């Protein structure tokens, strides 16, 4: 195994971070070297995360929303095969034509595909064959980067493929944690894993940042990579509001529970209360009560709840109910982004994604990219809620202030928490 995941935060090695950074694309490095290094760094990180898992671990699908590790490893590889190699490398020969069906996720215009809830049934190809598939595609992509006379044209496809793979690096961990949470022996993904430490500003707790108000610009308008859902940049009107500089902690969540948070219907949205009843929720995801003490299933196995740590595995419904109980609100995504622009938030990145109260909708004038890659984000802009920031499992160099993550409001297997907002009289 090529080494365990670093604790407490998962990190790319320094050379890998630099390879994905904007600086590396500048004067000091020619584009061919930049993309060669960046591609290798991201592909290695996926395998580093998967290396802690056995072939048996890699095949399981514990629910329709969660995909097997082996599927993640192959799907991100198919992405390069489908969108880069097949259309742009006339010498490319597919590793196995049948893989397109197995590893296409949701790209309708790329052809038929395995139904999502049935990804765990793909026992063949084996994990070793997926490793061979990855090597085959790696070799072809690196050769293309070295030889293409239209690299500038190909670079945006390579770049989105790498950011796509980084998204799956986080999903690989959230999905295997869900599988392990259903195993009564509480397997540890990495026995050395620990919760990330919040900053002192977060632990000092709950002091709100200075208020924000007025007209501000949000969205991605500058240089560097972004997904299409971050554009266009546009002006927003922010009402006078203070965002908590701190993330909500487990200790605060225990107070909410002690005051009957999960038993008082008036605190909940109707759909949220329906989910509380249907799922018998009494605590955040992965929490269990052992002889009167609360524990949580983590990547390090079953761990006692630390009241000083930010709460995690919260759905939007729970975040919304907590805010109502606290007499406060969830921030909008615009308020969150403006607060980050003004450096008002502690732990905006690298601990837990933060639910906002914003529906995942297109920005004014949004247009999806042309072609099959236009299916990446735009077609999901209904019935989901935006999260901002990043989590400890997000690869370094992946998230940014304008980044829009999104999940259904009942989802809580991601590394999700919250911070509160307070409006001024």
| Residues in touch with Fe ion (CB under 5 A) | 105
CB closer to Fe ion, 67 vs 354: 67
Compute the least distance from the CB of residue 75 to Fe ion, in Å: 6
Q: Which residues lie below 8 Å from residue 295, measured CB to CB, with a gap of 6+? A: 287, 288, 289, 302, 303, 304, 305
Residue 275 or 405: which CB sits closer to Fe ion? 405
Q: Which is nearer to Fe ion, 302 or 368 (CB)?
A: 368
How far is 353 from 24, CA to CA, in rounded Å? 27
Radius of gyration of the chain (CA): 22
We find the least distance from the C-beta atom of residue 81 to Fe ion, in angstroms, to be 13
Minimum CB separation of residue 408 from Fe ion in Å reads 17
Q: Which are the contacts of 96, defined by CB distance < 8 A and separation ≥ 6?
A: 125, 133
Cis before residue 8, ω within 30 degrees of 0?
yes
Length of the chain in terms of residues written: 425
Which of 275, 377 has the CB closer to Fe ion? Answer: 377
Tell the smallest beta-carbon distance from residue 166 to Fe ion (Å).
11
- For residues 247 and 204, the answer to whether their CB atoms sit within 8 Å is no
Q: Are 309 and 251 in contact (CB under 8 A)?
A: no
d(CA 58, CA 60) in angstroms, rounded, equals 6
> Is the bond into 125 cis (omega within 30 degrees of 0)?
yes
Q: How far is the CB of 391 from Fe ion (least distance, A)?
A: 18
* 171 vs 334, beta carbon nearer Fe ion: 171
Minimum distance from CB of 107 to Fe ion (Å)? 9
Residue whose CB is nearest to Fe ion in the complex, by number: 105
Question: For the chain, first and last CA: distance in Å?
Answer: 57
Q: Which is nearer to Fe ion, 16 or 105 (CB)?
A: 105
Cβ nearer to Fe ion, comparing 62 with 105: 105
Tokens representing 316 are: 């939007």
138, exposed or middle or buried, with CB in 10 Å at 0-12, 13-18, 19+?
middle
CB of 105 or CB of 181, closer to Fe ion:
105
Minimum distance from CB of 190 to Fe ion (Å)? 24
Half-sphere exposure (Cβ direction) of 290: Cα atoms closer than 13 Å: 11
Please tell me the number of Cα atoms within 13 Å of 285 on its side-chain side.
Answer: 23
At its nearest, how many Å lie between Fe ion and the CB of residue 7? 27
Closest CA to 159 of 388, 415, 376, 392: 376
């Amino acid at each position: 195994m090529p080494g365990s995941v670093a604790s407490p935060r998962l990190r790319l090695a320094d050379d890998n971070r630099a390879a994905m950074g904007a600086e590396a694309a500048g004067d000091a490095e020619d584009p061919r070297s930049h993309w060669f290094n960046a591609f290798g760094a991201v592909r290695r990180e996926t395998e580093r995360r998967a290396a802690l898992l056995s072939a048996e671990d890699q095949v399981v699908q514990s629910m329709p929303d969660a995909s097997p590790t082996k599927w993640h490893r192959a799907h991100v590889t198919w992405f390069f095969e489908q969108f880069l190699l097949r259309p742009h490398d006339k010498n490319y020969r597919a590793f196995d034509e049948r893989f397109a069906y197995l590893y296409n996720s949701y790209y309708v215009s790329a052809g038929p595909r395995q139904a999502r809830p049935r990804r765990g049934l793909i026992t063949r190809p084996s994990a070793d064959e997926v490793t061979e598939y990855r090597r085959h595609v790696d070799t072809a992509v690196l050769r293309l980067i070295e030889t293409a006379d239209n690299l500038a044209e190909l670079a945006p496809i390579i770049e989105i493929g790498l950011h796509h793979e980084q998204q799956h690096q986080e999903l690989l961990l959230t999905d295997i944690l869900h599988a392990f949470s259903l195993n009564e022996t509480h397997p540890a993904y990495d026995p050395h894993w620990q919760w990330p430490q919040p900053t002192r500003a977060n632990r000092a707790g709950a002091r709100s940042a200075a208020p924000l108000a007025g007209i501000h610009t949000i969205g991605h308008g500058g240089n560097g990579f972004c997904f299409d859902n971050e554009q266009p940049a546009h002006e927003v009107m922010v009402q006078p509001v203070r965002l908590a500089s701190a993330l909500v902690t487990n200790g605060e969540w225990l107070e909410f529970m002690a005051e009957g948070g999960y038993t008082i219907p008036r605190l909940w949205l109707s759909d949220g209360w329906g989910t509380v009843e249907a799922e018998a929720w009494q605590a955040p995801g992965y929490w269990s009560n052992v002889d009167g003490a609360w524990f949580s299933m983590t990547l390090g196995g079953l761990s006692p709840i630390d009241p000083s740590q930010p709460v995690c595995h919260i759905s939007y419904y729970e975040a919304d109910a907590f805010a109502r109980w606290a007499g406060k609100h969830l921030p909008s995504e615009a308020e969150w982004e403006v607060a980050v622009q003004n450096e008002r938030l502690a732990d905006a990145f690298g601990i837990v994604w933060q639910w906002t109260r914003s529906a995942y909708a297109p920005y004014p004038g949004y247009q999806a990219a042309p072609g099959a890659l236009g299916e990446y984000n735009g077609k999901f802009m209904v019935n989901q809620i935006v999260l901002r920031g990043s989590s400890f499992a997000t690869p370094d160099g992946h998230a940014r202030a304008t980044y829009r993550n999104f999940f259904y409001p009942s989802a809580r297997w991601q590394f999700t928490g919250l911070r509160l907002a307070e409006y001024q009289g």
